[in-house]
Amino acid sequence: MYLLTVKDGLVTRHVGPYLSPKQASDDLDRVLSSCTDRARWQIHALEAPHQRSFAERVQERDQAFSAAAS
């Protein structure tokens, strides 16, 4: 999945998700038609979140706190 990010001054818009970067690119003209000429854009690939159990999340949190304390 891909996400189109458009920064126009102080405003950031996230449009998508798209199945391919080509679909995001094809939709770019429509999105930019409502922006100023100085708008900047990027297409980002979204990462699938890793499924972790509750115990794994708690263990990771505990390790983060113990590492910060030492």
CA atoms of 35 and 25, how far apart (whole Å): 16
The predicted pLDDT at position 34 comes to 92
Phi first, then psi, for residue 45 (nearest 5°) are: -85, 130
> Would you say residue 53 has pLDDT above 60?
yes
Rounded-to-5 percentages of helix, strand, coil across the chain: 40, 30, 30
The residue among 7, 13, 3, 5 whose CA lies nearest residue 38 is 7
Q: What is the pLDDT of residues 1-40, one digit of tens each?
A: 899 999 999 999 999 999 999 999 999 999 999 999 999 9
The predicted pLDDT at position 30 comes to 93
